Structure 1
């Protein structure tokens, strides 16, 4: 019995898969989206309870649908985001099959396309789009052994302070996730240490406009690649509590102890880098540079936006910066839990084609793979800085759909030429 034939198979029904389906539908390209769980499942089950989007509702959405239950300046909860994508998929009539896991994709031998093995049987696909996004495999650095008398979990497994054992908490990673989790745990009455590495720290808002707007009009979303040496620099920004600028000095004033990058663990002692002051200073420089560019933009365009001189006022460095902790005995400090807000790695073990480098990273340009017929969507910096964001993946999906359409045109021409030749 032959496998069902599909023109384009899209793997994953998160924001990338839904966007891909919309653009394929608009171009009249037959396709099927397979999702192993529910639509936008990672938003529902792999995020902490109080998570909200980092961008306001007017910005972090697809062009074809607004959030029905939010004001433009509000920040969507994780459930509202997941419901949004489910509603969007219904609106566009996306052909999504949930509960189907793709276990392997292999190129056909002596025939075009790919053989796809799934939990619901085999398929044959001319093109395959890997739309599983960047949050596939949680990364926990090999610093603290599992045998240590500590609870260790990745931020993707954290839900709320109530799930943690009694005692203090060390949060490693000071991007959006680490900052929000640390603040929430501290408010619950626990002692929290926050390990701060290099980061960008844009203003949440400035002169009456959100940072998403500023990065847009200043063309920062369109940057095609991160600055040299900043490939892994996180963005410390928060939509929590109505949205606010992340200020590590304010976090210290609230009772959180700041430390530098987490380096090593030995005999119950954690060693931290001497880079805390440097990391905060570089974050401040990034923050102030955005303010400078924003002020110049206002003046250049004659905009009537209120001045905000207080935005440049920074607190003095706290004790944890002027006299940094370089080594800490976790038991003596009462720390019983480490939360690793240290990001994710991709996992394309199911995609068994020649499309990856020696480190398992996709070889691609704007989502077009070096393996003909394979495409990627939802990668950080896929085409621009904004590619990791909801609106950014929608635009990337349009480009990928265009490329598939172009390839279909070549094949159609070949088939027509063969008929004429015969």
Structure 2
């Protein structure tokens, strides 16, 4: 079977791969996008049924196309987000093949480019863009051994309350996914325990502007990760039910039992860290700091935005927070399900290239890896705080497409013949 060749191969057709295809098309770079499932498959089948985008439609989109039939200030349901990317790729992208799995990438010997093994044969490419994103391998800490009558699942496997076994539910992790899932299950009439770790808790909106707008004008989308390994920041924010500020006190008042970080399990009894009040207080401090910066920005720029003094009022900590549970007997509490909203890790075992550090993390600057010709896209903090968001990945993709085009020009350069001396003397 002949080996197929291409200038640039893009692995993955989620939001990162779609954005990359657009920019490569605009730059005139021949490329191929490979996707093991369907376009934007994660949005369709690896999210819960009621999920909506965490940012409003005017912001969480690509610059050159609006969401059809959606108010700019609405939060787009997940299936419509997936449809958006599929439509977008058809309008702006290049060649795509779905149902193809990439199983290996290795540098070619003695010539530029890479040998890419796939489920449908071998492809040779000068460049490979790894656009598989940040949500590859669900992380489930090895804390709770298998318990009779208790279903354990990752948040990526949760769909809706009706599909869960009978009984109370423990949700571990209080970022956006964990909070929204716990709230939905409680609204369905189930008893819910929520394990709350360190987090940021921004306002959903303040003084008539969504928090994504505030992050923009305050320059926070451009923030860089402080150090390797500190890239992940748990953020408790929600676009559900029209969008609202997450307040753990309100969840507790509605009957949810908050506990600290889940630490261990012995003989069917979970133990929790005594950090609950501290974690919530630190989240409050983050929330108030955004309000203060917003107020200062309004005053400095003379904006006519209505004051919102009530947003600064923080209610007292409930007794369940100041004197929290430190242990929970799963059987006595009637726990039927544990949902681990504990994030994802990346698996690059299929890549035999020198593009990783000693910990196996991608070694790169703004997605340009230490292995020439290998690029990463869609990772958190790739270039800044906005990199893993829909609009942010679009801008990162443009940077990588420009880099690929510039290096193509270097490869294409051929020096002219030496100018004859007679011609030089007459110059």
> Given the two structures, how large is their TM-score scaled by the length of structure 2?
0.96
Cα distance in 1, alignment partners of residues 147 and 201 from structure 2 = 36
Aligned match of 1:128? 128
* Mean CA deviation greater in 102-111 or 381-390: 102-111
Deviations 1:82-127 (A, max 9, x none): 0000011011143111111111111111121111111111111010
Q: In the alignment, what sits opposite 1:297?
A: 297
Offset, 1:389 = 0.5
- Counterpart in 2 of 1:181? 181
Structure 2 match to 1:259: 259
Aligned to 2:381: 381
Shift of 1:227: 7.8
Check conservation: 1:106, 1:352, Cα contact below 8 A. yes
Cα deviation digits, residues 323-363 of structure 1 (max 9, x gap): 11111111111112100000000111222211112322111
CA 1:377–1:119 in 2, change beyond 3 Å: closer, same or farther?
Answer: same
Partner of 1:165: 165
CA distance in 1 between partners of 2:335 and 2:147 (Å): 16
* CA distance in 2 between partners of 1:230 and 1:250 (Å): 30
Q: 1:229 to 1:100 in 2, by over 3 A?
A: closer
Counterpart CA distance in 2 for 1:187 and 1:307 is 32
Q: Does 1:53 align with 2:56?
A: no
* 1: CA distance, partners of 2:60 / 2:226: 21
**Does the residue aligned with 2:342 lie in a helix, a strand or coil?**
coil
> Which residue is 1:285 aligned to?
285
Give the Cα separation in 2 of the matches to 1:277 and 1:112.
56
Residue 73 (str. 1) matches residue 73 (str. 2) = yes
Q: Name 2:249's counterpart in structure 1.
A: 249
- The answer to whether the 8 Å contact 1:115/1:122 transfers is yes
Deviation per residue, 1:188-207 (Å, 9 max, x gap): 11110000000000000000
Moved more, 267-276 or 306-315: 306-315
CA separation of 1:287 and 1:314: change in aligned 2, threshold 3 A: same
Structure 2 matches for 1:108-257, cutoff 5 A?
108-146=108-146, 149-226=149-226, 231-257=231-257
Structure 1 unmatched ranges of 5 or more: none
CA contact (8 A) 2:231 2:381 kept: no
Q: For residue 408 of structure 1, report the CA deviation from its aligned partner.
A: 0.8
The verdict on how the C-alpha distance between 1:278 and 1:410 changes in structure 2, with shifts beyond 3 A counting, is same
Instruction: Report what 1:361 is aligned to.
Output: 361
Whole-angstrom CA distance in 2 between matches of 1:160 and 1:358:
40
Aligned to 2:44: 44
| Alignment match, 2:421 | none
Is the Cα–Cα contact under 8 Å of residues 226 and 385 in structure 1 kept in the other structure?
no
Q: Aligned partners of 2:103 and 2:228: how far apart in 1? A: 36
Tell me which residue corresponds to 1:31. 31
How far residue 231 of structure 1 moved from its aligned partner, in angstroms, is 4.0
Mapped contact 2:194–2:258 kept (Cα < 8 A): yes
Deviation of 1:148 (Å): 5.3
Whole-angstrom distance in 2 between the partners of 1:232 and 1:42: 20
Could you say if the C-alpha distance between residues 261 and 196 of structure 1 is closer, same or farther in structure 2, counting changes exceeding 3 Å? Answer: same
Task: Tell me, in whole angstroms, the C-alpha distance in 2 between the residues paired with 1:232 and 1:328.
Answer: 28
Name the SS for the 1:199 alignment partner: coil
Q: 1:229 to 1:296 in 2, by over 3 A?
A: farther
**Residues 161 and 188 of structure 1 are in contact (CA less than 8 Å); yes or no, is this contact kept in structure 2?**
yes
Change (3 A) 1:67 1:54: same
Q: Contact 1:18 / 1:94 at 8 angstroms: preserved in 2?
A: no
**CA shift for structure 1 position 162:** 1.1
Structure 2 gaps, min length 5: 419-427
**Whose Rg is larger?**
2
Counterpart in 2 of 1:345?
345
Instruction: Find the counterpart in structure 2 of residue 322 from structure 1.
Output: 322
Give 1:402 shift.
1.2
Q: Secondary structure at the match of 2:153?
A: strand
Report the Cα offset of residue 228 of structure 1: 9.6
Counterpart of 1:412 in structure 2 is 412
The 5 Å alignment of 1:73-112 reads: 73-112=73-112
Counterparts of 1:374 and 1:297 in 2: how far apart (Å)?
41
Aligned residues: 418
Q: Deviations 1:366-387 (Å, cap 9, x if unpaired)?
A: 0011011100000100000000
Distance 1:381 1:71 in 2: 29
C-alpha root-mean-square deviation of aligned residues, in Å? 1.4
Helix, strand or coil: the match of 1:284? helix
Q: Is the 8 A contact 1:180 1:238 kept in 2?
A: yes
